[in-house]
Structure 1
Amino acid sequence: MLRSLHKYAGLFATVLVLVLAISGVTLSVIPAWNKLQAPAMTETSLSVADLAARVSANYPAVEQIKRAPSGRITAYYFEGDVAGAVVVDPATGKGAADYDTSPVVQWLTSLHRSLLLGDGGRLTAAAGALAMLFLSISGLFLVARRMGGWRQFFARTRGPLAGRLHVEIGRFTAAGLILASVTSLYMVANTFEVLPQENTTPDFPAQVSGEMGLNPADMPALAAIPVSQMRDLTFPYADDPTDVYTISTDSGEGYVDQGTGVLLAWQSLGPWQQVFEFIYMLHTGQGAWWLGLIMGLMVLGVPVMATTGVIMWWAARRARPKMPKGVAAKQADTVILVGSEGGSTWGFAATLQDALMAKGHSVHAAPMSRFEPEKYTSAKQIILLAATYGDGAAPSSAKGFMDKLIALKTAPAARLAVLGFGDRQFPAYCAFAQQAVEQAEEKGWDQLIPMDTVDQQSPQDFARWGAALGQALGHELALVHEPVQPKTRQLTLISRREYGQEVQAPTAILRFALPRTSLLDRLRGRGWKRFEAGDLLGILPQGSDIARLYSLASGTGDGFVEICVKKHAHGLCSGQLLDLQIGDSITAFIRPNPDFRPARNKKPVILIGAGTGIGPLAGFARANTRQRPMHLYFGIRHEASDLFYGEEMPAWQDAGHLETVNIAASRTEQRAYVQDILRRDAARIAALIEGGAQILVCGGREMAAGVTQALHDVLAPHGLCPIELKAQGRYVEDVY
C-alpha cells in the first residue's frame, strides 16, 4: 500500500515538485552570493549610532538604512526629488556599489512562493510541499524495507542504475527535503494567519521632546545597539519635530527621540514571531548562507529522483506481463498470489491463469502482499507462486504477506498449493516459499499438493508441477510456458590463460572486454549491469536456451569480465568456452549474488576454495585495495599444472591485498587437501574467528562439506561452530 501511494503521488506531483525544487535550488544560492558581494565590516564593535552618522554625512537626505542577513547594508535616500539606493561601506558610510534588485530573482521568488498566481498559487505550492513531505517520509520507510530494516538502512544498494540512484540520493536528501517541506508549510500557514499572530510594533509614544538636529552619533539608544543586530533604521521626516527614529533589530522594534536620542518605546519579539524568524532562516538560508547551500544541494536531488522514479515505474510496467482478465476476489474459485522481485514470476502466473480459465475455473490473481483471505469467500484453492529475495527474504510483491499469515486466527477454508521459484546454486533456494509452507502448517492450513519448486525458471519443472496440480483438481492441466530470457550482451574474448593440460583437466582463465552501454540504457535497466567479484555471469551456450552460471573473478572497476572455467566431460557450455579464441564472442548476462562477498567492515576475511572456486576469491583479493587482512586457503591438484592466479599471488601479497597464501596440492608427495591445511592452521583460524573474521567458501559441494567439518573440528574447542557463523552471515558459501 505504502509503495503504491509513494509511486502514484510521485507521478502525479512530479511537475509541481520539480518547479518548486528547481526554483528553490536557484534561490538557495542568493544568500551566499549576497554574502560574497557585501562589503566587509572591519569594525566588529560598530554601533548603529556610528553607522547612521557616517551614512547621513554622505547622504543628508537618507530615509532608511537596511542591513540584510548577509551583512549587506543598503541606504535609501533622496537627491532632490529623485529617490536612490546604494550599498554602503560601513567603514566610511560611502557608496560601495549600486543597489540593484534583479528582476530574475524577483520572478524566481514569486514562482517559488506562489507559482506567479497569487494566493491560489500559494495554496498550490503548499500542496506541492505536502507532496514532497509525504514522498520523503514514505521513501524513508520504503528504503528501510528494501534494505532489510533500519539497521541496514545505509547498506549497499543493488539492482539497475535508476533504482540505485533513486535510493542513494534519497538517503542523502531526505532530511533536507523534509525540513524544506515542513518549513514551507509553516510559512504558508503563517501567511494565511492559520497560526497565532503577534503584534511586533510598539505603540507610538504619546510625547516626544520636540527637539531636532541631534547627531545620530550622540544618541545613547542607538549607540547601545551593534550593527550586527540591526535590521533597519528609519529616519524621521525632515522638519517634523514630532517624528522619531524607528529601529528594528533581531530581538524587537522601538522608537528613539530625534532630539534626545533616548529610547521612547520598545516591543520585543514574541515567541511565535521568534519561531517564524527561525523557520524563515531554515527555509531560505537568509542569515545562514552555508545552510542555504546545503539545503539547495539536497533539494537538487529532486530532479534526479523524479527522473529515476519515472524510469523505474515505466521499466516495471513493461517488465510485468499483461495478466489475463480474471474475476473479483469474492467470485473466484481459484486465487493465485504472486511473490516476485524482478517480474519473471508473473509470467508463470499468466500461463497458469490462462490454463485454469481454459478448464472452466474462475481465477483472481494478485500480489502476495494483497493477501486478504476474508474476501476469498468462493475460493476452493489458493495458489502461491513465490520467488525468494536474497538470503530467504520476501520479494517486493510479497512484502507483509508473512505478517498477515501469522496474524490469522484460523486458516482459510480453501486448500493451499505453493510453488517456489529460485536457483539451486544459491544457498537459500526457495527459502521464502518454504517459510510460507511452514507457517501455513502451523496454522493448520490444508495443502492441496506438497510444495514444489522451479529451478532457474525451468519450463519443464513448471509443467511437471502443473500436471500434479491438475491431477489434484481432477483434470489435466498442461502448462506450456515460454520463459522471458534476461537481457543479454555480446562479450568479446580478449585474453586466455590455460592450465591443466598435463593432467587431462583443461582449465582456462578467460577475460572478456566490457560491453559499451549508454547512460540511458543503464538508467532504464537495459544496460550491462554493474557487477562485483562473486556475482554470476550467465552464459547461453549455442544450442540451448538454459543459461550456465559462472562466478565472476572481477568487478566493473577492473574494466573487464573474468571467469575461471574447467572443461567437463560432455559439458556443452564449458566445451564451447574452452574452444574460444581471442576475438570470439559469447552471449551473456549478469546475475547479482549480493550475499557472497566480503562484509563491509575492516574485520579479517578467510578465503577458502578449490579448483575453479578460486575465481571470486581472486577477485576479492584484487579488489582489496584497503588492505584489510585476507587469508587464502586454496586446494589444487599440482602447482605445476593448475595453480590458478599463481602469477598474481606474490604481487597481491606484496601490495597487502593478501596477508597469507596457503596452498594444498593433492597430487604431490605431501598430498594434502584444503581441509588438511585448515586443521594444520587451526590456532590462527580460531583466533581470526574469535576476532570477528568472515569465512567465504567457493568450490564443489564435496569440498565445501569437508571444509565445514574441518572448521567444526577447529572451532569446537573454542565454543564456536559453523552453523552459528552461517546464521550471523560470517560463513558464506558459493558451491556448485
Structure 2
Amino acid sequence: MLRQLHSLPGLIAAVLVMLLAISGAILSVDPALERLNGTATRAGQVNVGQLAGRVASHFPGVEQIQRTASGTVIVYFNQAGQVGAEKVDPLTGQGLAPYEPSAFSRWMKDLHRSLFLGTPGHGVAGVGALFMLVLSVSGALLLVRRVGGWHNLLRPLQGNFSQRWHAQVGRLALLGLLLSALSGLYMCATTFDFIADGSQGEPAFPDHISAGPALPVANLQALQATDLNDLHELVYPSPNNPQDVFSLRTAQGDGYVDPASGTLLSYQAHDSMHNVYELIYQLHTGEGLWWLGLLLGLCALCVPLMSITGILMWWRRRQAGPNIRHNSAAQAADSVILVGTETNTTWGFANALHDALHQAGHRVHSAVMNQYANHYINAQRVFILTATHGDGNAPASASQFLARLAEAGLKPGQPFVVLGFGDRQFAQFCQFAHQVQAALVQAGGAPLMDLETINRQSSQEFARWGHALGEALGRDLTLVHTPRQPQTHQLVLAERIAYGEQVDAPTHVLRFKAAGRLPDFEAGDLVGIVPPGSPIPRFYSLACDSQDGVLEICVRKHKGGVCSEYLHGLHIGAPIQAFIQPNPQFRPASGAHPVILIGAGTGIGPLTGFIRNNRAHHPMHLYWGGRNPTSDFLYESELNHYLADHRLTALHAAFSQVKDRSYVQDRLISDALILRRLIEKGAQVLVCGGREMAKGVMLALDEVLAPLNLNVRTLKAQGRYREDVY
C-alpha cells in the first residue's frame, strides 16, 4: 500500500512536479543575484528619512521608494514627464543602474505560480505541491522501512543504479522538498482565501491633515523613526493634491504620514496571520534568505533525477513481475509456490522453480503470499520464496500472510519448503523467512528440508538449493535464474601468482587490465564473471581499487568448479567478460576507529585491499586462516611490507595443516583481551570467507564479547560488524 501511495502519484504527476521543480530552481537564484548586486546596510545605520533626503537631491520628482526583501532600494520618479526607475545606493542616494525587471523572471514566475492559466493555474500548482508532499512523506517512510528504522537512515544504500540514486538523492533533498511543498500548499490556500493572509487589515485613511507647508522629507519624524531595513515601500503624496499623504509600509505594519507635521496619522500593525504569511513567503521563495533559496533550488533540481529513476524502477518492477506460464488452478495443483517480494525481483526465481517443476510433470500453481487461503486440496508440497523488507518486516506481497495463515490454518502434515532472500549486511537477514518457517511448523506443517537463504540474489546459491531440493523430491532438479546483469567489460589477464599446489588447494591471485579505462570500483566490491557455456555469473570480491590500474581477485580452484577452473586455465593475455557489482556495505567505515579484519582462504583478498588503501595508518588488525605457511600463505610478502610501513598494525595467522594446527576462531579466543579493548574503542569488524568459517567466527566473538555484555548481533545493529560470506 505504501509503495502504491508513492509510485502512483509519482507516475500521474511526474511532468507537473518536474515542471514546478525546475522553474522553482531557476527562480531560486534571483534572491542571491539581487543580494549580490545590492548594497546592504546594518540595522540603525540608515533611517527612511535619511534615505529619502539623499534621494531627493539626486532624483527630483520622486513618487515611490521600495526596498526589496534582499535589500535592493528602488526609486520610481517622474522628471519632466519622463517616468523612470533606478536602483540606488542607500548610503548616498545616488543611482547605481536603471531598474528593469527581468522579463524572463516574470515569465518564469507566471509558469511556476499558475502555468499561465491565471486563477485555475494557481489551483493546478497547488495540486502539484500536494503531490510533492505525498511523494516526500511516502518516500521517507519507504526509505525508513528499507534501511530498517530511523536510526539507520544515514547508512549506505544497496541496490542497482536507479535504486541507489533515487534513495540517496531523495534522502539529501527530503527536508527541502517538504518545506517547498508545505509552503507552496499554504500559498495556494491563501490565494483561494482558504487561509487568511492578514492583508485584510488596512489602516484607516486620515480624514484631515495638518495645515501648513510640507516639511522636507528628511525631517519627517515618522520616517526618521523607521529603520531602512524595516522599509517595504514609501509612496509620496500626489503633488497636485494638497490633501494627500505619505503611505508607509514596513515589516511591522502600515500607516499614513502627515507631510506637514511628520507624524503618523493612522497606523495598523500587522496581525499574526500577516506575519505568518510573510514568513512562509520568505521560506518558499528565499526572498530575504538568499542562502535558503539556493538550498531549496538545489533540492528542487533533484526532482527530475528522482522522477526519471523512479519511472525506471517502476518499469523494472513491471518487467520483473510475474509472467507465469502453465499456471494451474489452486485446487488442482500438486505443487504450490507462494512468493513474498517488495520489488518483484523474487519472481524471477519463483518462475524458474515453476518452470522446472512443470517440466518434471507437476501441476504447479504460483501466487503471491497474500493470496493464501488454504484451498490447496491436492497440494503435495508448498514452496514459499520470500524476501525480507527493512528491519525484518514482511515484503509488500506478503504483509497479510501470517494473519491469513493464522485464520485459515494449514492442512495437517502439509509438506512445505521455505527459501529466504536477503542481504547479509542487514542485522535482520531473512528474518521474515524465519518467521514464516516457524509459523508453518506451529500450524502443523512438515518441512521437507531445512530453511535455506539466498544472499544478494545469488544465482549460484539458488542453483545449489535447487540440487538439494531435487534430492529431497527424489528427482534431478536444475534451477537456473540469472537476474539482469549490467553491461560487461572486456578484461585481459596481465599477471598470475600461484599458491597452494603442495596442499592440494591451488589458489591464484589474478590481475587483469582493461584495453581502455577500467570501470570504477573499490576494494570489497564484487566482480561478476560469466564463464563460457554457463548463464550464471560467479562473483569474486575485489582486492584493489580501480585507481590501482588493475582488477585483482583471489581464486581457489574447486574440482568441477566451472568458473574457477576456467580462470585457473587462462593464459596471460587471455580476455574475459566481467561486470562490477558495488558492495558499499562491505568496507571500513571512515574515521580513525580500529578495524578488525577476519578471514580465511581467499577471503583475504578484499581484506588485503583495505590494508593496501590504509595510507592514513589507522589501526588495522588482521586475523586470517590458511592451511600451510610454506605453500598457501596468501599475500605474505605484501602483508609483511604493510606491517613495516604501519598500514597493518598486527597480523595473526592460523594454519590447519601444521603440527600445532589452529583455526582463525582459535586465534580470536586467545586474543580475547586485545579484541575487547579494540571493541571498547569503537572498532569495526569485517569478516570475509566461507559460510562455515563465518559461523565459527560469530560464535567465537560472542564468547569474546560476553564480558562486555555485547554480542555480534548488537554490533551488526550498530553497523560495526559486516560480512562478505560465500
TM-score w.r.t. the length of structure 1 is: 0.84
Residues 1:684 and 1:391: Cα distance change in structure 2 (over 3 Å): farther
In the alignment, is residue 622 of structure 1 matched against residue 612 of structure 2?
yes
Amino acid at match of 2:236: F
- Cα pair 1:388 1:429 within 8 Å, conserved: no
**Which residue does 2:187 correspond to in 1?**
187
- Cα pair 1:457 1:483 within 8 Å, conserved: no
% identical aligned pairs = 42
What's the offset of the Cα at 1:224? 0.7
In the alignment, is residue 253 of structure 1 matched against residue 250 of structure 2?
no
Amino acid at match of 1:410: E
- Cα pair 2:392 2:430 within 8 Å, conserved: no
In the alignment, is residue 265 of structure 1 matched against residue 266 of structure 2?
yes
In the alignment, is residue 574 of structure 1 matched against residue 574 of structure 2?
no
Cα distance per residue 1:566-606 (max 9 Å; x no partner) = 33455543333222223212344555666654456654222
Residues 1:492 and 1:25: Cα distance change in structure 2 (over 3 Å): same
What's the offset of the Cα at 1:106? 0.5
- Cα pair 1:200 1:252 within 8 Å, conserved: no
In the alignment, is residue 68 of structure 1 matched against residue 58 of structure 2?
no
Amino acid at match of 1:365: A
Residues 1:335 and 1:17: Cα distance change in structure 2 (over 3 Å): farther
Residues 1:424 and 1:540: Cα distance change in structure 2 (over 3 Å): farther
- Cα pair 1:88 1:96 within 8 Å, conserved: yes
- Cα pair 2:247 2:257 within 8 Å, conserved: yes
Cα distance per residue 1:14-39 (max 9 Å; x no partner) = 11111111110111010111111123
Per the alignment, in what secondary structure is the counterpart of residue 407 of structure 2?
A: coil
**Which residue does 1:585 correspond to in 2?**
575
* Distance in 2 of aligned mates of 1:163 and 1:136: 16
Residues 1:309 and 1:57: Cα distance change in structure 2 (over 3 Å): same
- Cα pair 1:420 1:430 within 8 Å, conserved: no
**Which residue does 2:217 correspond to in 1?**
216
**Which residue does 1:45 correspond to in 2?**
45
Amino acid at match of 1:484: T
What's the offset of the Cα at 1:132? 0.7
In the alignment, is residue 385 of structure 1 matched against residue 384 of structure 2?
yes
**Which residue does 1:657 correspond to in 2?**
647
**Which residue does 2:95 correspond to in 1?**
95
Cα distance per residue 1:267-289 (max 9 Å; x no partner) = 00011111000010000111111
Per the alignment, in what secondary structure is the counterpart of residue 66 of structure 1?
A: strand
- Cα pair 2:544 2:552 within 8 Å, conserved: yes
* Distance in 2 of aligned mates of 1:494 and 1:556: 15
* Distance in 2 of aligned mates of 1:718 and 1:97: 71
* Distance in 1 of aligned mates of 2:292 and 2:323: 48
What's the offset of the Cα at 1:461? 5.2
Please identify, of 308-317 and 452-461, the stretch whose mean Cα deviation from structure 2 is larger: 452-461
**Which residue does 1:412 correspond to in 2?**
409
- Cα pair 2:197 2:277 within 8 Å, conserved: no
What's the offset of the Cα at 1:364? 6.4
Please identify, of 66-75 and 599-608, the stretch whose mean Cα deviation from structure 2 is larger: 599-608
In the alignment, is residue 57 of structure 1 matched against residue 57 of structure 2?
yes
Residues 1:321 and 1:484: Cα distance change in structure 2 (over 3 Å): farther
- Cα pair 1:622 1:652 within 8 Å, conserved: yes
* Distance in 1 of aligned mates of 2:527 and 2:252: 67
Amino acid at match of 1:622: R
- Cα pair 2:332 2:363 within 8 Å, conserved: no
Per the alignment, in what secondary structure is the counterpart of residue 236 of structure 1?
A: coil
What's the offset of the Cα at 1:721? 6.5
What's the offset of the Cα at 1:70? 1.3
- Cα pair 1:6 1:138 within 8 Å, conserved: yes
What's the offset of the Cα at 1:210? 3.2
Cα distance per residue 1:298-352 (max 9 Å; x no partner) = 1111111112112222233333452349799999998743124675531343466
Amino acid at match of 2:267: W
* Distance in 1 of aligned mates of 2:254 and 2:216: 21
Residues 1:14 and 1:40: Cα distance change in structure 2 (over 3 Å): same
In the alignment, is residue 322 of structure 1 matched against residue 312 of structure 2?
no
Per the alignment, in what secondary structure is the counterpart of residue 232 of structure 2?
A: strand
Per the alignment, in what secondary structure is the counterpart of residue 145 of structure 1?
A: helix
1:139-218 equivalences in 2 (<5 Å): 139-196=139-196, 198=198, 199-218=200-219
1:228-627 equivalences in 2 (<5 Å): 228-320=229-321, 322-324=323-325, 336-340=337-341, 343=344, 345-350=346-351, 363=365, 365-366=367-368, 368=369, 371=370, 373=372, 383-388=382-387, 393=392, 396-398=395-397, 400=399, 405=402, 410-412=407-409, 417-420=416-419, 432-442=432-442, 444=443, 446=445, 456=460, 458=462, 462=466, 465=469, 483-484=481-482, 486-487=484-485, 489=488, 490-500=490-500, 505-513=505-513, 532-555=522-545, 558=548, 560-569=550-559, 571-590=561-580, 597-598=587-588, 602-627=592-617
Amino acid at match of 2:602: T
What's the offset of the Cα at 1:704? 5.6
Amino acid at match of 1:385: I
- Cα pair 1:493 1:513 within 8 Å, conserved: yes
Amino acid at match of 2:203: P
- Cα pair 1:211 1:258 within 8 Å, conserved: no
Residues 1:575 and 1:113: Cα distance change in structure 2 (over 3 Å): same
What's the offset of the Cα at 1:126? 0.8
What's the offset of the Cα at 1:431? 5.8
What's the offset of the Cα at 1:378? 8.2
What's the offset of the Cα at 1:622? 2.6
Per the alignment, in what secondary structure is the counterpart of residue 268 of structure 2?
A: strand
* Distance in 2 of aligned mates of 1:425 and 1:55: 72
Residues 1:708 and 1:54: Cα distance change in structure 2 (over 3 Å): closer
Residues 1:627 and 1:245: Cα distance change in structure 2 (over 3 Å): same
Cα distance per residue 1:88-146 (max 9 Å; x no partner) = 12222222100101111110010000001101111111111111111111110111111
Please identify, of 349-358 and 617-626, the stretch whose mean Cα deviation from structure 2 is larger: 349-358
* Distance in 1 of aligned mates of 2:43 and 2:266: 28
Residues 1:508 and 1:481: Cα distance change in structure 2 (over 3 Å): closer
> How many correspondences in the alignment?
713
* Distance in 2 of aligned mates of 1:502 and 1:356: 47
* Distance in 1 of aligned mates of 2:388 and 2:591: 23
What's the offset of the Cα at 1:396? 5.0
Amino acid at match of 1:286: E
Per the alignment, in what secondary structure is the counterpart of residue 167 of structure 1?
A: helix
Residues 1:108 and 1:483: Cα distance change in structure 2 (over 3 Å): same
Please identify, of 192-201 and 17-26, the stretch whose mean Cα deviation from structure 2 is larger: 192-201
- Cα pair 1:406 1:439 within 8 Å, conserved: no
Amino acid at match of 1:412: G
Residues 1:593 and 1:337: Cα distance change in structure 2 (over 3 Å): farther
Per the alignment, in what secondary structure is the counterpart of residue 572 of structure 2?
A: coil
- Unaligned runs of at least 5 residues, structure 2: 455-459
Amino acid at match of 2:596: I
Per the alignment, in what secondary structure is the counterpart of residue 648 of structure 1?
A: helix
* Distance in 2 of aligned mates of 1:702 and 1:480: 25
Per the alignment, in what secondary structure is the counterpart of residue 3 of structure 1?
A: helix
Q: For the aligned residues, what is the CA RMSD? A: 4.1
Amino acid at match of 1:120: P
Per the alignment, in what secondary structure is the counterpart of residue 494 of structure 1?
A: strand
- Cα pair 1:183 1:279 within 8 Å, conserved: yes
Per the alignment, in what secondary structure is the counterpart of residue 39 of structure 2?
A: coil
What's the offset of the Cα at 1:79? 1.6
**Which residue does 2:121 correspond to in 1?**
121
**Which residue does 1:646 correspond to in 2?**
636
Residues 1:205 and 1:445: Cα distance change in structure 2 (over 3 Å): farther
Please identify, of 718-727 and 247-256, the stretch whose mean Cα deviation from structure 2 is larger: 718-727
TM-score w.r.t. the length of structure 2 is: 0.85
* Distance in 2 of aligned mates of 1:602 and 1:694: 11
Per the alignment, in what secondary structure is the counterpart of residue 497 of structure 1?
A: strand
Residues 1:624 and 1:573: Cα distance change in structure 2 (over 3 Å): same
In the alignment, is residue 136 of structure 1 matched against residue 126 of structure 2?
no
Residues 1:357 and 1:124: Cα distance change in structure 2 (over 3 Å): farther
Please identify, of 340-349 and 138-147, the stretch whose mean Cα deviation from structure 2 is larger: 340-349
